Amino acid sequence: MREVVEYLAKAVVDHPEGVRVEERRAKGGVVYYIEVPAEEKGRIIGRRGRVIESIRTVVRAFARGKVSVEVR
């Protein structure tokens, strides 16, 4: 699943080499943290959060479970 999150995040930004994805287990499931350089945060979040919400939707559908995606 980490690879899916990383693939989607890298597809959105201008400099994919700066994308890092960290996976952590939590009580409610798995949380994926996307780390991008400061100048790329606007691209990964998108207008009104549409890009990150789309990434979350795809990941939840693919995972079929309790998964969360956050941006750092």
d(CA 69, CA 57): 9
pLDDT value for 28: 82
Q: Which domains does the chain have, with CATH numbers?
A: 2-71 (3.30.300.20)
Q: What is the pTM of this model?
A: 0.90
Q: What is the pLDDT of residues 8-46, one digit of tens each?
A: 999 999 999 999 999 999 888 999 999 999 999 999 999
User: pLDDT tens-digit profile of 39-64?
Assistant: 999 999 999 999 999 999 999 998 88
**Cα 60-63-52 angle, rounded to 5 deg:** 30
Residues 6+ apart with CB under 8 A from 43: 12, 13, 14, 36, 51
Give the 3-state secondary structure of 23-38: EEEECCEEEEEEECCH
